[in-house]
Amino acid sequence: MAVETKFVVVRKGEEKMTFANKKEADAYDKMLDMAEAFTDWLLQHQPALDESQAETLGLLIAEQKDAVQHILRTSKLPEAAAAPVSQPEAVSDDSADESQEEPAAKKVRAVKAA
Instruction: Give the pLDDT band (50/70/90) at residue 107.
Output: low
Instruction: Give the pLDDT band (50/70/90) at residue 1.
Output: confident
| % of the chain beyond a pLDDT of 90 | 56
CB 63 within 8 A of CB 31: yes
Domains recognised in the chain with CATH numbers: 20-72 (1.10.10)
What is the reported pTM?
A: 0.62
Distance CA 29, CA 12 (A): 12
Is the pLDDT assigned to residue 85 strictly greater than 70? no
pLDDT in tens, 21-37: 999 999 999 999 999 99
Distance (Å) of CA 102 to CA 10, 36, 106: 44, 43, 12
| % of the chain beyond a pLDDT of 70 | 69
Distance CA 48, CA 46 (A): 5
